[in-house]
Amino acid sequence: MISRKDFTFTIGYEGNIAVVDGTLKKRYGSLTAEQLAEKQLFKQAICSAVYDQSSGKGTGEALLRVLEIYNQDAVEKIDSVEDLKRTFGVNEVPEGIAKVTVI
């Protein structure tokens, strides 16, 4: 399985290879989902919360908190966690990632 940090900062996939933003990973890799959202890194915050939930370390509370933080300053409010995930293109942690390329 791909690591939390790698999934959080993945910018795309090429087959079974995850392409990771190394600069963001190095700078923000130790932050929680809530801390990432407070820094306006919403896609990364959602990925972090989804990873924690799928690995059994989270209950979904982090996703609700990311949604709250997003809606604080948003012109267009998002109604649900599912809509938030869809907006940022994050569904689940992919299976079968064989390699990670950091750029």
In this prediction, residues 8-32 reach a mean pLDDT of 97
Full domain range(s) for residue 39: 4-102
The pLDDT score that the predictor gives to residue 31 is 98
Residue (of 54, 30, 60, 61) closest to 44 by Cα position: 30
The confidence band for 58, taking pLDDT boundaries of 50, 70 and 90, is confident
Q: Tell me how many domains the chain contains.
A: 1
pTM over 0.85: yes
Distance CA(41)–CA(56), nearest Å, equals 23
Distance CA(82)–CA(21), nearest Å, equals 25
Is the distance from CB of 19 to CB of 103 less than 8 angstroms?
Answer: yes
Start-to-end Cα distance in the chain = 20
